Amino acid sequence: MESFDVIVVGAGIVGLATAYHAQKSGARVLVLDKGATGYEASSRATGYLSLRGETPEECALAQVAEKLWDELDEELGYPTEWTQKGRLWAAIDDGELAELKATFQSFQATDIGFEFIDAKACRDLIPALTDKTLGGIYTPRAGHANPQRTTQAFAWAFLDRGGEIREHTPVLSVLEKGGAVHGVRTTRGDIHAGTVVLCAASHTTKLLEPLGIVFPLAPVRLEAFVTAPLPPLFEEAFIAHGLAVRQTRRGNIHVNGGPFEWIDVDVTGEPAKPTTPLVRNIAQRLVEVFPVLRKAQMLRSWAGIVDITPDTMTLIHSFDTPRGLVAASASGHGFGMAPAMGVAIADLALQGRTELPIGDLTLDRFASLPGDWRRAWNWQAGNINT
Amino acid sequence: MTSSSVRRIAVVGASDLGCSFALAARQAGHDVTLVDEHPQSLKQMSLDAPYFYGAAIPAAVLNENAIAQVVLESNPEIFECFEAEVDVRVGTIAWGAFRNAPNSAHIGTPKLGLVSQDSNKLLEHDVLVLATGARDFVPSFAGWDLPGVFGVKAGLALLDIYQCYEGKRTLVLGTSPEAVKFTRSALAAGVEIVGMVEPTQHFAAGRLAADEIAGLGVPVLYGRIITAAEGKTAVNGAQLVPTNGSGTVEGLDCDTICIAIGRLPNIELPAAMGCQLRFDASVGSWLPETDAGGMTSAAGVYWLSRFTGGEEQVQAILASIGGDTVAPAAPAESVARADYLQLWVDTLFQTGGSNVMLCQCEDVTRGAFLGLEPPRYLDGQLRHPQTPVTGRCGVPRIHQDQMKRMTRVGMGHCQGKRCRDEAALLLSTRFGIGLESIQPGSYRFPVRPLDLDLIAAGDETPEMRENWLYWPAAPENL
């Protein structure tokens, strides 16, 4: 039987970041994916590093990620299009302004340095903003990058160090005996490894069920679109009016947000990712925020599947039983967090412990989660926007 | 027909087949809407989809009202549809089609997204018939972005539909049936055809067509290939070389170059809807999988195309809509076009090399594409080239989506309509992987780029507005 030190299941950004760091530390690592590299949640990412003021438990790890992002191009050797020009979260009507002020109160509990700025300051930052802008929360920290290019950068950097990625190789089960894992069963046979890391979204949940482990994730379908490239308008990570909007290095306006649909996924094939007429409504909101985009052209829309934990926060867990098993999900925060998650998960896989601040992010917080939590949350397949 | 068997049928594409089906369905008592994107706005024409007009669209098309009239009059079948009370909507883009499907359970009645200069609607329907026609296949050569270079469908549209063709001396690339048709129309309009370029020693459209062309006095330049369109601000000539490697460059005087190598089916709508596709080697393209009644893998969605058959498809689809079992028709006569497209792309690459612009939108050369080099806006920061071939165990694969994300070939304004097919053919030859093993890049809605103020809709329901989040949130009482 083929043998590796570590098998990582899932060639998304979190799995690849983990594989990169483990390989760099000297382990022989194999990455397996049921489909293509960076083709699921990693292809739907907005591309933001948020410092997670909304979820203080993730804040410390996000700040580790922020430092790593600064050096990521150099570390990996491939361009990620990292742009650190801060984040603006603006309000364009009274309801949004009231909500934003409440949000700001909670942000002040963090040490990130958020500032509430007035309408003029918002429009000084982004002159293309509507004159209806009322104010916003600004931080000079936070940033954005190209999700596809970053995921591929991790993949290439991992290959450069001698790692191996096998695409279109679904993992059917984790092999376990006597309280320890010893590999995985794939559609192309068994592969041995003393350590198995699962970064495979809902696939992880299903692989852990036979081991009696509840790894709570709910998949959700979300939509996005880009415009044709435009001259530079702004560089900040921007949120307003229920949308996340960034301008890519190439000049496209990338926008997402709005109603989403809870779904179920099958573990062997690529899930369907249909889009809906929702793009018409997103376009309306985008033009309301940036009237200057009226004659910009919608170029392509797409949908992606993202896996959400019950509290929407990152989940990283190293298991005592079975030994040699680590599982993680970034709950839609993976793009920004991946550089730090990769280090933390590789540490757990190789040494069983990490110095990185993940104490609040383990599975322990869900010890009393009701078995029917998806029903209780209204997050079962078929529900929209609940 | 009982009222319960009357179906609301949306037909996309007012080609002869599309009109013929719309009429037959109307005569059978159905409620029929026929949609066609022509006449296109100047902005849409300049995006080269479905026809490759290139950079020189005649000023006459700016007069949109006059053009609309001319375009309609060139299509008598559309008038028959009007008279039969088909709801005809011209100048209207069917940009997306939506139905309940896995992971999208809330569409309800199937909807077709329709946008024109003054309307933005979701058309509810029971049955969708896609008669979306063909687009130009336009492989690259030096200078192919110059004003005066265009595709054969665009050339025919300017001659026969818009009636404002401006070329006086045209060079035709290829000896396909489309090339012959164009040559006939151009000669009838008083245009001089300076020659037809054919890399082999054989006339692709066959002996009869070759004789006809000879009779018309048009020179066929056998064993030659174009290496460049010449000119600073517009085409004023072309460079040809022999394909046998003897290397003597010939200059040719012309003001227009018509790329008439072939055409490809417009599969954007069925592909983006998630209909199952199959690679058809005889067409050189992916096509929707259909049953004998013309139905795709999506129930109630039909494919009607000259690439898959003729008039008999009209009755087969009508029978299938009526619930009748349809006996399989004889397979359509193979046109074996893929080899001809591949021959052109390979010969153009051998003679023109790596340094020719492949993707006009993003300004990417063939070499940069095949070497997976990062796009220009990143200033060549790549450590070293990587291979696009994956799948070390089992068969090697190439995923065109991953190629386009890294190189941006196919990511630009034309949505890949100018370059995606040549890109696949180049990959196939360079890496020795069959076209059927190259996963095509995804097609996405909208199938034409659309101004945001045309597609934007303020029809949010109160529930949508109330619960609109930019990201899912955990319950507050957790």
pLDDT of residue B390: 67
pLDDT of residue B188: 97
- How much is the average pLDDT of B383-406? 72
pLDDT of residue B281: 87
Q: What is the DSSP string of A184-213?
A: EEETTEEEEEEEEEE--THHHHHHHGGGT-
**Adjacent-strand bridge partners of A217:** none
pLDDT band at B247 (very low <50, low <70, confident <90, very high): confident
pLDDT band at B151 (very low <50, low <70, confident <90, very high): very high
pLDDT of residue A45: 84
User: Cβ separation of A149 and B401 shorter than 8 Å?
Assistant: no
Rounded CA-CA distance A110/A107 in Å is 6
Nearest to B452 among A38, A272, A286 (CB): A286
User: Cβ separation of A221 and B104 shorter than 8 Å?
Assistant: yes
Nearest to B449 among A239, A298, A377 (CB): A298
DSSP state of B160: I
Please enumerate in sequence order all residues whose Cβ is within 8 A of that of B358, keeping only pairs 6 or more positions apart, or say none. B140, B364, B365, B366, B369, B409, B419, B422, B423, B426
User: Cβ separation of B444 and A382 shorter than 8 Å?
Assistant: no
Q: Tell me how far apart the terminal alpha carbons of chain A are, to the nearest angstrom.
A: 46
Of A104-113, A247-256, B198-207, B364-373, least confident by mean pLDDT is: A104-113
- Asked if the model's pLDDT at residue B280 lies above 60, the reply is yes
User: Cβ separation of A249 and B446 shorter than 8 Å?
Assistant: no
Q: How many CB pairs under 8 A join A and B?
A: 198
Whether A375 and chain B come into contact, CB under 8 Å, resolves to: no
Nearest to A242 among B111, B469, B475 (CB): B469
**Adjacent-strand bridge partners of B115:** B93, B120
In chain B, the percentage of residues whose pLDDT exceeds 90 is 72
Q: Are B288 and B296 in contact (CB under 8 A)?
A: yes
- How much is the average pLDDT of B171-181? 97
Q: What's the mean pLDDT when you consider all of chain B?
A: 92
- The phi and psi torsions of B19 (rounded to 5 degrees) equal -65, -40
pLDDT band at B325 (very low <50, low <70, confident <90, very high): confident
- Asked if the model's pLDDT at residue B393 lies above 60, the reply is no
Q: Are B249 and B239 in contact (CB under 8 A)?
A: yes
Of A227-231, B50-54, B81-85, B246-250, least confident by mean pLDDT is: B246-250
pLDDT of residue B246: 83
- How much is the average pLDDT of B81-105? 96
Rounded CA-CA distance A71/A153 in Å is 13
Match 């003597």 to its residue by tokens: B248
- Asked if the model's pLDDT at residue B396 lies above 80, the reply is no
H or E, element range at B347: helix B338-352
Of A119-133, A181-195, B177-191, B424-438, least confident by mean pLDDT is: B424-438
Nearest CA in chain A to B459: A281
Task: Write out residues 24-83 of B within 8 Å (CB-CB) of A.
Answer: none
Q: Give the full edge-to-edge strand order of the sheet including B256-259.
A: B149-151, B256-259, B169-173, B192-198, B220-222
ipTM computed for the complex: 0.94
User: Cβ separation of A287 and B456 shorter than 8 Å?
Assistant: yes
pLDDT of residue B343: 96
- How much is the average pLDDT of B340-351? 96
Q: Given CA atoms B401, B406, B407, B412 in this order, what sign does their dihedral have?
A: positive
pLDDT band at B478 (very low <50, low <70, confident <90, very high): low
pLDDT of residue B71: 82
Give me the torsion for CA of A154, A158, A164, A167, rounded to 10°: 0
Report the residue of B381, B442, B470 to disrupt the A interface, i.e. the one with the largest count of A CBs within 10 Å.
B470
Report the residue of B363, B414, B455, B466 to disrupt the A interface, i.e. the one with the largest count of A CBs within 10 Å.
B455
Extract the residue ranges of chain A whose pLDDT is less than 70: none
For residue B374, is the peptide bond before it cis, meaning its omega torsion is within 30 degrees of 0?
no
Ranked by mean pLDDT, the top range of A135-139, B158-162, B369-373 is: A135-139
In angstroms, the separation between the Cα of residue B402 and the nearest Cα of chain A is 8
In angstroms, the separation between the Cα of residue A352 and the nearest Cα of chain B is 30
Nearest CA in chain B to A230: B413
- How much is the average pLDDT of B62-90? 89
